[in-house]
Copies of this chain bind each other. A is one copy, B any other.
Amino acid sequence: MTDVERLIQLLARLPGLGPRSARRAALHLLKKRETLMGPLTQALEAVSRTVRTCSVCGNIDTLDPCGICSDGKRDPAVICVLEEVGDLWALERTGSFKGRYHVLGGHLSALDGIGPEDLNIAMLVERAQQDTVKEVILATNLTIDGQTTAHYIAERLRAAGVSVTRLAHGVPVGGELDYLDDGTLTAALRARRAVES
């Protein structure tokens, strides 16, 4: 296999790129050697050199514990549990959560053979037992696997004496009822709230 073929094969393993788009990406890199291929190589090196996984929460950062875990202004009483670092970034972008996080690194999946020991759960149980922690918000995805994972964690946290909550389900902001799936609509109806006047 040539170097270019090897590059294409590796690019094709990125989510969102198939064999065809990996070929196009490789050619684009070869066309933009100075302005893209060089800087990208350096960025990858920099990231593998500097970025590590936070030993407390599973976030990625150049620091360990990460910037969020070591930020004294963030409420240590609330831990929001997420599947992936991408979910953490999504919540951080909203700017509406000021507690700490815990990244599981995936979800339980019988099909893929992913059990509790493969996820960052033991550390979460340990953290939840600390006196400072009052609430754990389970914000795993609303997929079957995500919800199974949330149920499992809720069980594990029962003994820790913390309040366990989950995100509200309902109509997304800007969502049109006509386009919503039945599950979301049913959940939104069941969780209806009094209109404040």
Contact = CB atoms under 8 A, between A and B. Distances in A.
Interface in A1-21: 2-4, 6-7, 10-11, 13-17, 21
Contacts of A44: 7, 29, 37, 40-41, 44
Interface residues of A, number: 45
B29 A14 contact: yes
A12 to B, nearest CB: 11
How many of these chains are in the complex?
2
A89 interface: yes
A62 interface: yes
Nearest to A24: B15
Interchain residue pairs A-B with the least CB separation, the first 4: A16-B21, A7-B43, A41-B44, A3-B46
